[in-house]
Amino acid sequence: MILKRWLIFIVVFVVSLAAILSLLIYFQAKSPFHTASKDAETYVLKNNLLTKVDDSYVYNSSQTFHTVIGSTKDGVEKAFFIPDKKSEESIMEVNLQDGISAEQAIGLAMKDEKNSKLLHAKLGVEEVGPVWEISYVNKSDNLSYVYILFNNGDWWKRISNL
């Protein structure tokens, strides 16, 4: 009876310890991305590029960008692309009204993908300029990426069945 209690205690302790360590590792791994996104948000607000931030995230390509989406004091919705190694000349911006929306990009990317699960739609910068990166898992449980040009909605690149 005592041995059974000790065994249960040890199993619960080990499972709890594993869960706690997993959570600590997860939050430690996410911390640099969170900090970098907050730094990018602070930069655009402090330099009066935007007055309100709606979203921000890291976009990885051949170069890492921090995309910050929000509104100016005039109510114009913009996206700023701030590179990791920022300099005033390397920061790009787009008016969101000058291109296709996230919903339109998702519709174009998922048009022929029945029973697929959307993972994310991110606005970022590639060598061709601003693009929407749409990632999804198809009905065969394969990961796919579609890159759609922000300016006109044309397909730029597709990576399927990873």
Query: What are the residue ranges spanned by the domains of the chain?
Result: 2-98, 102-159
pLDDT at residue 87 in the model: 57
| pLDDT of the residue at 89 | 60
Handedness of CA 51, 55, 56, 60 (dihedral sign): negative
Q: Indicate the burial class of 152 (C-beta count within 10 angstroms; 0-12, 13-18, 19 or more).
A: exposed
How far, rounded to the nearest angstrom, does the alpha carbon of residue 57 sit from its chain's CA centroid? 5
> What CATH number labels 102-159?
3.10.450.40
Domain 2-98 in CATH 3.10.450.40? The answer is yes
Give phi and psi for 149, each to the nearest 5: -65, 130
Return per-residue pLDDT of the chain as tens, 162 residues. Answer: 778 888 888 899 899 989 998 888 887 877 776 777 788 888 888 988 899 999 898 888 888 889 999 999 888 999 999 887 765 568 888 999 999 999 999 988 888 777 889 999 999 999 899 999 999 998 888 899 999 999 998 889 888 776
Q: Residue 80: which residues within 8 A CB-CB, separation 6 or more?
A: 40, 44, 49, 50, 67, 68, 69, 91, 92, 93
- Same topology between domain 2-98 and domain 102-159: yes
User: How confident is the model at residue 122, as a pLDDT?
Assistant: 93
